[in-house]
Amino acid sequence: MKKWSRCLLFLCVGLLVISSTLVYAEPSPDPLRTVTGEKADPPEVDSPTAILIDKKTGVILYQKDANSAYYPASITKVMTALLTLENCSMDETVKFSYRATHELEEGATHIARTEDEEMSVKDCLYALLIASANEVAQALAEHISGTIEEFGVKMTERAKELGCTNTNFRNPSGLNDSEHYTTAHDMAIIMKKALETPGFLEIDSTTVYEIPPTNKHAESTWVATKHPLLKGGDSPYEYAVAGKNGYTQIAGNSLVTYAKKEDAELICVVMKSKKGERTKDTKNLFEYGFRNFTWHSMADDVKTRLDEKKTLTADGRQVEYTVPEETAWIVLPNTVKLENLTAEIEQAEGAEGFSGRVVYRINGEEAGSIPFTGAAPEPVTQSASETETTGQQNEQSEEGFSWKKLLIWGGIGLAVLVVLAALFFVVYNWNQLRHRRRSRNRYKMKRRRRRRW
């Protein structure tokens, strides 16, 4: 019994290990990386934590204590908007509950929605990002996940999927909670994903919006941006396009901003700033990025290198490559010249075709990589006359020999063999049965005769 008990114990432990490996999933690798090459001296930043990244490539151009956790305040709503866009359609109706409209901190920003009021998801998103309406954030959370708490879990799980490493969300608004925190690094990842999501940029770059009448409000509600760097803000910056501001007494001032100047697209995050610091620091970091880095489109260079490689398929056709121009960028410090880069093609044949990437390096360090996909060209289609000729040739060949007929007659022959085999089996068993009965009868007759004698 001891032996069987040990085996059972080992079996249970093995099952637990296997189940734990199936349930636990490693977070995504960090989508951000540090730029290669000597950089200019960055500006002085007063905010305790800040980061500047390139939106196209995810390259970090500047960071200051970017992985320490802070309270984010209302920049949390960027994640709320992202999950809303990923889980809802714009024309869905959101109904406000008693909890969504009443469980707010004193002084929390709102647009005076009431219990049982209804708004479309689209209008909710404008109120969320432009007016920073907290009751709207809570209504969206309940609409998507049923409860605010469950939505907080969903936010945290999504952050981990994106590659965030030190983020825990408890509510959709960013109102004070000791277990609600993130980092400048993680917020840059979230903002980057949001900007890549259809619909977000259009809403987040809007500075004034009219919310139409609802079942509880007979008149329209106008909302205006609270982001200081956008048009209409307290300290507008000409290249600022979109973003989200945040403030609570505990969290201090936080700011997430997206700016664009020609080919350059930057995302800046500052947190725990004092009044006036967040706008000054953000502007200084944007100017540092625009002034000291250069963006290079590598699409043509990648195509040229791939065409020169002349990769062939198994049947001898040359592979055709596609290089998405939106991902074919590298950003370099102005001290690094493009001609000093070396390139290497990393190619893998797989289910998705001849995919891979071209890796550019400077002094052995990776400066950037451009993904590509490859596939065999479609077979050349025949003209009408060629098709007719081929059809006639096929008809002539079918007169002498037809695979279709062969398959039909082969199937019939197989069916006949199966039937004959079944009949043979029945007859054989029946004969065996008759033989056994006769043997039994003979045996009985012999016994009777012996008894008589």
Q: How far apart are CA 89 and CA 109, in angstroms?
A: 25
Considering the chain, what percentage of its residues have pLDDT values greater than 90? 59
Residues 57-66 pLDDT 10s? 999 999 999 9
How far apart CA 184 and CA 164 sit, in angstroms, is: 10
CATH fold, domain 33-292, is Beta-lactamase (3.40.710)
pLDDT of residue 28: 53
| Residue-level pLDDT at 284 | 97
Q: Which residue has the higher pLDDT, 425 or 15?
A: 425
CA separation for the pair 207, 190 (Å, rounded)? 21
- Both structure tokens of 38: 């000597």
**pLDDT tens digits, one per residue of 65-77:** 999 999 999 999 9
Q: Comparing 140-149, 237-246, 440-449, which segment has the lowest mean pLDDT? A: 440-449
pLDDT given at position 191? 98
Query: Of residues 36 and 181, which shows the higher confidence score?
Result: 181
The backbone torsions φ and ψ at residue 231, rounded to the nearest 5 degrees and listed phi first, read -60, 125
Q: What is the pLDDT of residues 357-385, one digit of tens each?
A: 899 998 888 888 899 888 777 665 555 55
Which has more pLDDT, 387 or 322? 322
Nearest Cα to Cα of residue 60 among 295, 331, 363, 426: 331
Helical (H) or strand (E) element with 398: helix 384-400
- Please provide the average confidence, as pLDDT, over all residues in the chain: 85
Neighbour tally for 27: CB within 10 Å: 13
Residue 391 has pLDDT above 70, yes or no: no
Of 223, 268, 221, the C-alpha closest to 243 is 268
Contact indicator for 400, 387 with CB cutoff of 8 Å: no
Q: Is the pLDDT of residue 185 over 70?
A: yes
pLDDT at 394: 53
Tokens standing for 271? 């947190």
Question: For residue 199, which phi and psi values (nearest 5 degrees)?
Answer: 100, -30
> How far apart (Å, rounded) are the C-alpha atoms in residues 230 and 262?
18
- Mean pLDDT value across residues 416-434: 77
Among 18, 107, 50, which Cα is nearest to 280's?
A: 50
* pLDDT score of 25 more than 90: no
Closest CA to 276 of 225, 229, 206: 229
In angstroms, rounded to a whole number, what is the distance separating the alpha carbons of residues 127 and 138? 12
Prediction pTM value: 0.76
Q: Spell out the domain ranges in the chain.
A: 33-292, 298-375
Helices (H), 266-350: 277-292, 299-309
pLDDT at position 408: 76
